[in-house]
Every structure is written in structure tokens, then in C-alpha cells.
Amino acid sequence: MENEELFAGEPAVDARQHARRTHAVTKNAPLHVHTEPLLAGDDDSQDGEWPRDDDQSSEIDARPRWRRAHIWWLLPFGLLFTLGFGGLAVPKINLIMTLICRDYFSERSLKDSRFTYLPVVFGEDNSQCRIPEVQSLVARFQLYLNLITGIISALASPRLGHLSDRYGRTKLIALGATGAVLNEAITLILAKWPEYMSVKLLFIGAVFDGLGGSFTGAQALIHSYASDCTPPDRRSVAFGLFHGALFLGIAVGPTGAAFLIKQTGNTVIVFLIGLSFHITFVLSILLIVPESLSKKRQLAAREKHRAKEANSETSNGFSLRSLNPVNLITPLSILFPAVGRPSVLFPNRRGASPALRRNIILLAAMDTAVFGVAMGTMQVIIIYAEYMFNWGNVESSLFVSIINVVRVINLFVVLPAVAYFFRTPSPDNGSIRGSDMLDIVLIRVSVVFDVLGYVGYAMSKHPAMMILSGAVASLGGMGSPTLQSSLTKHVPHERVGQLLGATGLLHALARVVAPTIFNLIYSLTVATYPQTVFVSLAAVFGLAFLMSLLIRPHVTLEDEPEIDVTVEANEEGESEQDGLLAR
């Protein structure tokens, strides 16, 4: 299979490393692979560390306690990044509209000398630009930007995630965010000197943003960092906090930007502050936030990668096979582990069980659907509400704020409280344990809230009902972090970055496909039955709920009992494990 070719040579590397650890321990005492439980209440867990092996644990213990990796190092700076992202959204759209409107009128005046128009000034009202021709050009330009960013980030995200397994999380998070810095720097230049610049310069910024993985790749890398320093039974809460920070930035950012513009009368200052937030994020990740992966683990991952490259048929020189379009989706092979035999995920064992493989595929499909709906429906919901209830900018802004506030409270308060009172800490010995029952219940409940919310949208006859439906749908926001944390429980730790990089690829594709589909459905049915899009979305979540019924809790490798073996040294000082490896 493709996923077995992807990491050829790794079984031997894993075997040698395990043999060295086994031989070192068996010189003095028998080896019991089953380790002591690591409960959620332990001091180590509270310090933010999760020592899964001796190499990681020894290096973490050597750090001062205040310099150990923890999500609270990353969360404040992540919030700063999302505030910059959210604050620039509306001013950037207005900048694009101003430049396209200016170019449209300029081109029209060249064709018709009798045509005159008022000056188009960035930051002003420019009411003359509110015509269908300009709106159509703006929508088309936005589509091109999304396609460029989405396609490139779909290619870059899984590779960044894979690199983070070998070179550390913080370096790759900073590298990815540098793409956003370059994108916003170009936008600032365009906003500062719009009379000398072309709006097409933003295409270059979209390329830089895509090469950095955009915000979908950044989210995957940040979740990889959280996985390193958070026990499995707490990951859904950690991921939920980062999701909450994203929605908090989306909710507060535009409001803060509007306040600054109103107080200063200068729109450029918003771009300057947004760029400074992004630069601060990159510098803080490089200089302040501690790395979550130990050097020894990074070196081990690089050794495995070199072994794979040395045994790869296409590693020496260029080949036409590298241009095969199928290779663009090769990173998704991690979502399809081989069943019943060694694979990329389980090179030294008998492969994944059918239940484990089914769980991974179901969780990845549901996660992609939930993310795609979240990215592709907000614009449609606002257009529908303004059409049905004659809402203006004030009413629409209030509606968006209420939805995001409910979602933030849900992720910052409700999800941690549920985990605190109902999560049962489980011992961790480094084995794959899969989702627990609380994960599955949270996923199913979240999907039910989504179904109720979108059915409510379709049945709303009054603005209050529309707002209530939005709040109910927002309660389903805890489904996405729980889905992603559950995925990380189905793969070995050294594959977490690669797995989340693959989900970043799926998110990037959903970012392009979902808005296109939902906007198309709405445009085709708005004249006859405008609620069709919400009925379709409720059906999507209904299918997701049926899929969640197939997820099994606590899945592991195929019929493999708990590892609790004793290895004795022979007369030559070689363990039985070494002898088996030698054969």
C-alpha cells in the first residue's frame, strides 16, 4: 500500500532503538514495559508536561519548572494572532472593494470619454461603488484569493506538520506564521499607497499565506504542540481553548478595528496594528514559548526519515513519478492504516485493527464536514437573515457577536467543566487507546445541537428565533476540538504532527469547496425556497450523527493484549528481545 511505501525502512530503526533501551535496562533488572499510571491529578501533568518516554521525560525534567512546555505559554500569543486575523477581515474587504471600484470606473472612463465619477478614496463611504458590476468583480476576486490560498495551503499544511515531528513545533509554527506576516505586510503597503499599487498585488500575499499553511495549517501545528504537553484525557479541553481563542479573535477583532477607525479616522492604523500582532506572535514563538518536543525525539524522527529516504525508490534524483498528481494527496495515507499487517502507523506490530481504522476514517470525515460547514455557512446565514428580516450592518454585526460569544463561553467554560466533572483519568503507558466514551458522547451531543440549530434557521419566522437558533448551533462548537483530540488518540505520538497536518490538508480543501457548494445551493434556491441550504446542512449533520454511532470507544491494535512482559539477559549480555530482532 502507499502508506507502507511512505516510510520504508522505519521498522528497522524502531527495532534498533527499542533494542538499545531494552538492553540497557536488562543489565541489572527485568524490564516491565507496562509503566505506572499517569493520572490527571499528578504533579507532572499539572506542570504541563506529559513524559511518554524516558528520553522526553529526562529532557523535560532538566528544564526549570516555569520553562516546561504548557498550553498556557502558547494560548495568549495565539489569541494575539487571532485578534490580528479577525481585526483585518473587514478592512481588507473594504480595501479590495475600493481598489476594484477605482479600477472599474477608471477603465470605464477610458472607454467612454463622457463618463464621469466621484473620486474613490479608501476609508471613505464611496456609495458610488455599490453597484452590481463592482459587487460581482469583488466576489470573483475574493474567490480567486481563496482558491490560491486554499490550494497552496492544502499542499503545504501536511508537509509542515510532518516537518514539525522532526524539527520541533515552535520552529514550524513560527515559519508558518511568517507567511501571514508577509501577506499582511503586502496588504499594509497596498493600504498605505493605494494610488500607486494594483489590487493584484494581493495575489502574491495569498501565495505567501498559502505557503505558510494559512490559519488552517497554523491551527494544526498549534494542536500538535498541545498534544505534546497535554495528557490524552485533557486534549479535548486544550483544543477547545484554542478554538475558543480563534472565535474570540473573530468576534472581538472586527469590533476593536471599528473602534480604532472611528476614534482615529485612519484605516491604515488597523493594518499596522494587525501586522504588529502577527510579528509579535512569530517572535514570541521563537524566543519565549518553550519547545514541546525533546531533542532526542526530534533526532529519532529525523533518523527514521533518513532511513525511509535511503530505501525509497524515488529518493535519488528527480523522477516523473514525483509529478504524479496522486502524490498531492499522499499525506492522507496516514488516515488509512493497513489492517492486519505492519504499516506506516504500526511498523513493528501486526497492523491496525479494523475498528481502529474505521474510527480514524470516521473521525477525519466528520471533522472535515464540521469544519467545512463552519467556514462555508456564516456568509450565507448573514445574507439570508438580511434578506428575510431586512437586517442592516448593525443587526448583522450583533447577530455575529452573539453567536461567537456563545461559542467562546461554550469552549472556555462548558467544555472544561464537563471534562472536570465527568472525565475519568486513565493511566497512560504509551499505547494507543482510542476515544473514550465521554469523547463519543460529546461528539454526538454536539452534532445534535448543530442539527437543531440549522433546523431552527429553516423554521425561523422571527429575528428572535433566528438568534436563538444561532446560539443553539454554537453549542455544537465543542464537537470540532473533541473530534481532533480523539484523532490524536488513535496514532502513535511520533505521528501526531503528520496526522494533524493531513487534517490541515482536508481543512484547506473544505475551505475552498464548502463555501462554493453552499453559496451555489443558496443562489439556485433563493427565489423558490431559500431555506433549502439549511435543510441540506441539517441533513449533513444528520449523516454525521449516524457516522458517530459507528465509532467504538477504547479501540487498540488487533487483538493485542496489554504489554507486560519480562525480558531477561542471557549469558552474553544480550536480551531475548535482541535475539529476536537479530533473527
CA 10 to chain centre: 27
**Residue 9 maps to a domain:** no
Higher local confidence (pLDDT), 318 or 545: 545
| pLDDT of 543 | 93
Based on the domain organization, do 205 and 86 belong to the same domain? yes
Beta carbons within 10 angstroms of residue 471's beta carbon: 17
| pLDDT of 557 | 61
CA 508 to chain centre: 9
Q: Convert the pLDDT of each residue in 98-107 to its tens digit.
A: 888 888 888 8
| pLDDT of 29 | 41
Higher local confidence (pLDDT), 216 or 564: 216
| Continuous segment of H or E residues that includes residue 232 | none
Instruction: Examine the pLDDT at 226 and tell me if it is beyond 70.
Output: yes
Instruction: Examine the pLDDT at 80 and tell me if it is beyond 80.
Output: yes
Q: Convert the pLDDT of each residue in 321-334 to its tens digit.
A: 544 555 556 667 77
Based on the domain organization, do 473 and 528 belong to the same domain? yes
- Considering only 39-48, 309-318, 395-404, 494-503, which range has the smallest mean pLDDT? 39-48
Residue 37 DSSP label? P
Average pLDDT value for residue range 388-411: 81
**Residue 209 maps to a domain:** yes
Q: Predicted confidence band at 542 (pLDDT cuts at 50, 70, 90)? A: very high
**Residue 49 maps to a domain:** no
- Considering only 64-78, 89-103, 261-275, 383-397, which range has the smallest mean pLDDT? 383-397
Based on the domain organization, do 97 and 151 belong to the same domain? yes
Q: Predicted confidence band at 320 (pLDDT cuts at 50, 70, 90)? A: very low
SS3 522: helix
Instruction: Examine the pLDDT at 449 and tell me if it is beyond 90.
Output: yes
Instruction: Examine the pLDDT at 91 and tell me if it is beyond 60.
Output: yes
Based on the domain organization, do 402 and 272 belong to the same domain? no
- Considering only 248-257, 286-295, 315-324, 545-554, which range has the smallest mean pLDDT? 315-324
Q: Which three cell numbers stand for residue 56?
A: 522526553
Q: Which three cell numbers stand for residue 216?
A: 488552517
- The last residue of one of the domains, among 263, 288, 305, is 305
Q: Predicted confidence band at 443 (pLDDT cuts at 50, 70, 90)? A: very high
Do 363 and 357 contact (CB within 8 A), yes or no?
Answer: no
Instruction: Examine the pLDDT at 90 and tell me if it is beyond 50.
Output: yes
Average pLDDT value for residue range 330-347: 59
As a whole number of angstroms, the distance between CA 529 and CA 539 comes to 16
Q: Which three cell numbers stand for residue 300?
A: 529519532
Based on the domain organization, do 213 and 277 belong to the same domain? yes
Based on the domain organization, do 170 and 263 belong to the same domain? yes
As a whole number of angstroms, the distance between CA 488 and CA 485 comes to 5
| pLDDT of 48 | 38
As a whole number of angstroms, the distance between CA 255 and CA 397 comes to 9
- Tell me the β-bridge partners of 575: 569
Helix axes 496-525, 479-488, angle to 10 degrees: 150
Structural domains of the chain, count: 2
Q: Predicted confidence band at 21 (pLDDT cuts at 50, 70, 90)? A: very low
Based on the domain organization, do 401 and 266 belong to the same domain? no
Based on the domain organization, do 239 and 364 belong to the same domain? no
CATH, residue 533: 1.20.1250.20
As a whole number of angstroms, the distance between CA 490 and CA 237 comes to 17
**Residue 511 maps to a domain:** yes
Q: Predicted confidence band at 17 (pLDDT cuts at 50, 70, 90)? A: very low
Do 480 and 574 contact (CB within 8 A), yes or no?
Answer: no
Instruction: Examine the pLDDT at 568 and tell me if it is beyond 80.
Output: no
**Residue 50 maps to a domain:** no
Q: What average pLDDT does the structure give for the chain?
A: 76
Average pLDDT value for residue range 477-501: 83
Residue 335 DSSP label? G
- Nearest one of 82, 199, 216 to 158, comparing CA atoms: 216
Helix axes 89-111, 235-264, angle to 10 degrees: 50
Instruction: Examine the pLDDT at 264 and tell me if it is beyond 70.
Output: yes
**Residue 34 maps to a domain:** no
Average pLDDT value for residue range 151-159: 85
As a whole number of angstroms, the distance between CA 147 and CA 197 comes to 22
Could you tell me how many residues make up the chain? 583
* Helices and strands: H and E segment counts in the chain: 22, 0
- Considering only 126-130, 514-518, 532-536, which range has the smallest mean pLDDT? 126-130
In sequence order, what DSSP letters do the residues of 475-529 get, joined into one string?
A: GGGGHHHHHHHHHHTTS-GGGHHHHHHHHHHHHHHHHHHHHHHHHHHHHHHTTT-
**Residue 450 maps to a domain:** yes
Based on the domain organization, do 547 and 468 belong to the same domain? yes
Domain that holds residue 392: 330-423+432-555
Instruction: Examine the pLDDT at 355 and tell me if it is beyond 90.
Output: no
Based on the domain organization, do 284 and 167 belong to the same domain? yes
| pLDDT of 5 | 37
Based on the domain organization, do 381 and 248 belong to the same domain? no
As a whole number of angstroms, the distance between CA 454 and CA 525 comes to 17
Non-local CB neighbours of 151 within 8 Å, separated by 6+ positions: 210, 508, 512
352: phi then psi, degrees, rounded to nearest 5: -75, 150
**Residue 182 maps to a domain:** yes
| pLDDT of 538 | 93
| pLDDT of 576 | 37
Average pLDDT value for residue range 153-163: 85
As a whole number of angstroms, the distance between CA 524 and CA 479 comes to 30
Based on the domain organization, do 261 and 389 belong to the same domain? no
pTM above 0.85, yes or no: no
| pLDDT of 569 | 38
Q: Convert the pLDDT of each residue in 550-567 to its tens digit.
A: 999 888 765 443 333 333
